Amino acid sequence: MTKKVHSLQVVAAAGLILATGCDWLRPGGPPDEVYVEISSDDASRLTIIVSQNFEQFEEPVCEGDPECPVVLRIVSADTSAVSPPYSNTIEFTDRYQILIETHPEGEVTGTVRMVVEIDGREWFDDVKLLRPVNEDGDRETLRFLYEYQDLDGLNSGGPGGA
């Protein structure tokens, strides 16, 4: 004999599950940590910049225009020079954002690889040939940028790399 389930029972069960906030329905929550590995076979020293305190905003002169460039302003960061390979585990602060950027030190061209995991899940794996400062004063870098956003929009952003 089969038992018939009434649609009201299904709705009530779904409401109860949603009210309890089960992680399997909405996995995640704020992340705990970031693990980063940076390597290079042809650069002997790398500059690494790590920031958990930065802002992104549109240029004030064109704010609201879909073509308006986004400005990244680093409020504070830790900068270090290391010999590759480099690895580190970084705990998130209450800002739940991180910027990791690297490039070879000095006037060196080098191929650099960066792998980033957030709470054990790979978010970024990229390899890039990075050249020294050009005639415009710009330097090629390998960058990972992440900002967590909860369903209420209390924290900003989402995954990203550039």
For a pLDDT cut of 90, what percent of the chain falls above it? 57
pLDDT (0 to 100) of residue 7: 44
The CATH class given to the 28-147 domain equals: mainly beta
When mean pLDDT is compared across 2-16, 57-71, 146-160, the lowest value belongs to 2-16
Q: Residue 153: is its pLDDT beyond 50?
A: yes
Model pLDDT for residues 89-102, shown as the tens digit of each residue: 999 998 899 999 99
Q: Residue 105: is its pLDDT beyond 50?
A: yes
The H or E element containing residue 87 is: strand 86-91
Q: In what order do the strands lie in the sheet with 33-40?
A: 86-91, 33-40, 110-118, 121-130
pLDDT (0 to 100) of residue 40: 97
Residues 6+ apart with CB under 8 A from 55: 72, 73, 75
State the number of CA atoms in the 13 A half-sphere of 160 facing the CB. Answer: 14
Model pLDDT for residues 8-62, shown as the tens digit of each residue: 443 444 443 443 343 333 456 899 999 999 999 999 999 999 999 999 888 888 8
Average pLDDT over residues 124-153: 89
Q: Residue 85: is its pLDDT beyond 90?
A: yes
What average pLDDT does the structure give for the chain?
81
Average pLDDT over residues 2-11: 44
